[in-house]
Structure formats: C-alpha cells, structure tokens
Amino acid sequence: MGKGIKEKNMSKKVIELVEYTEDFRDYSELVKESVDGKETYFLEGCYGQLEKWNLNNRWYQKKEGEMIVEDYNKNRIPKRDKIFGELDHSKESSPQFHRMALIFENPLQIVNNDIVTKARVLESTTYGRTLKVVLDEKLKFGASTKGLGSLSKVTKKGKRGNLVSNWVLKNVADIVVDQSAQGALPKVIIEMLMENDRRIYDIFNYELIEEVRKNMRSVMSYEIEEKIDENFSKLLNFNIKNK
C-alpha cells in the first residue's frame, strides 16, 4: 500500500498502522451490477499488498496475511463484525456507524500477494451517497487500511525497513480524499448544490440544502474557501436523511 497517514504508539510493542493508496483507481475498478432490479455500485480490486516494500517502508508477511484473510472470511463476514468502511477516517479508533459508506460482504482473497475483494457502496447512507458522487464525478481518492502490529528492523531484497508482525486488521479500508487534493470533494458537493443538481436531494435533507444554499449566496469572494469547508462540514455532520 502507499504512504502512511499516521502512526501512533498504542503500547511499547504494538502500534496502530494506517496504510494509504495514493490513487485507489490504480488498484481497483468501479463495477455496476443489478441487485434486486436496482443498479448498484461496487469497488473491486486490491486493498492490501504482501511480501513487498510499501511506500511506508513496511513489509507485510504473506503467512500473516493468509491468517488475516481466513479469520475475516470465517468469522467476521458471517458475524457481520466490522465489515464496513467509512468515507474519510473518523477520529475514533473504532469504525463509526454513522460514517458508513461501503460494506465488505465478499470474501477476501490473496492473488499474486495482493489482498483483493469487492465492496458494495451503501447508497442508503449519507456518506455512501456522497461516495457515489465521488465515483460519478471521477474524483481522485485513496483507500486507507487500519490495523495493529509490531515493527522490527529487517533487510529484504537489499533494502532495510520495518517488518510487520502480529498483524491485526481493524478494517479493510476507508475511502479518503487524496491529501494533495483535500478541497476537491467539498467544492464538487457545493457546486452541485449551487447549480441545483438534482442528485443532491438524494444525499441530503431538503431543508438543510436550502440553508446551505442561502449561506453560500451571501458569501463574499474572500470568504469562499472558508465557507465551502464550513458548509460542507455542516452537510456531512447531518447524518439522518429526513425528507
């Protein structure tokens, strides 16, 4: 996977590991299938890589990856235990239900040392509907995996770095806006709202849309960037659709 977003100490031996792909479209494809007569979006592709150096200078072992995959398929999927992903990371260490954007119901597989699967986009949630806009507008985005593990120095393939051991997968992936384009998603959503794109009503509450539209109309040019972020946050923090 790509560069890490953060790494914080969890104990003397175990740390939180966050791995980030710079542009997930390089590792996946958008699949549209009919489910119960309705077009449904899926993201299918690679969500993790084993037995190679990632851009965070970490090496994940295949033997541990195989155990992760087996446990996930046998225990977590049948129990519906932490099988969803968020849109952007929450600050909490555990996944937050109100941020659900996609769900990993299909088994994980290891193909050529890649962990691959197919995730369904949850169009019935606020964050899932926003993710659908990201996909429709072909915006750049990344996939970020959270886990726990221990690091030790090792040399492989002529390079020295950190070997990950005692790896525990916390979630398969969250969808995150690429760090080099942090303003892309807010601007697209606000532009849809101001241009009266009818898809916006499938994502957010009507009264909230009108409130944000009114706020944006009164914005002076020098305030525009700040107000876009402020009103976008207001939209995302409204988590119950109530037409």
pLDDT at 192 over 60: yes
Q: What per-residue confidence (pLDDT) applies to 188?
A: 62
Average pLDDT over residues 61-65: 96
Task: Give the CA radius of gyration of the chain.
Answer: 19
pLDDT at 202 over 60: yes
Provide the whole-model pTM: 0.69
Q: What per-residue confidence (pLDDT) applies to 107?
A: 96
Task: Give CA–CA dist 223/20, Å, rounded.
Answer: 32
Average pLDDT of the chain to the nearest whole number? 80
Confidence bin at 220 (pLDDT 50/70/90): low
Do β-strands 114-121 and 100-103 pair in parallel, antiparallel, or remain unpaired?
A: antiparallel
pLDDT at 144 over 70: yes
Answer with the residue of higher pLDDT: 55 or 174: 174
pLDDT at 3 over 60: no
Q: What per-residue confidence (pLDDT) applies to 179?
A: 42
Q: What per-residue confidence (pLDDT) applies to 27?
A: 64
Confidence bin at 96 (pLDDT 50/70/90): confident
- Spatial neighbors of 140 by CB under 8 A, at least 6 apart, are 23, 25, 177, 178, 181, 184
pLDDT at 114 over 80: yes
Average pLDDT over residues 191-213: 77
Q: Rounded to the nearest 5 degrees, what angle is found at the Cα of 188, between the Cα atoms of 232 and 186?
A: 30
Task: Give CA–CA dist 121/133, Å, rounded.
Answer: 11
pLDDT at 176 over 90: no
Q: What per-residue confidence (pLDDT) applies to 91?
A: 67
* Torsion 176-84-20-26 (CA) sign: negative
pLDDT at 11 over 60: no
Share of the chain above pLDDT 90, in %: 33
Answer with the residue of higher pLDDT: 12 or 190: 190
Q: What per-residue confidence (pLDDT) applies to 214?
A: 81
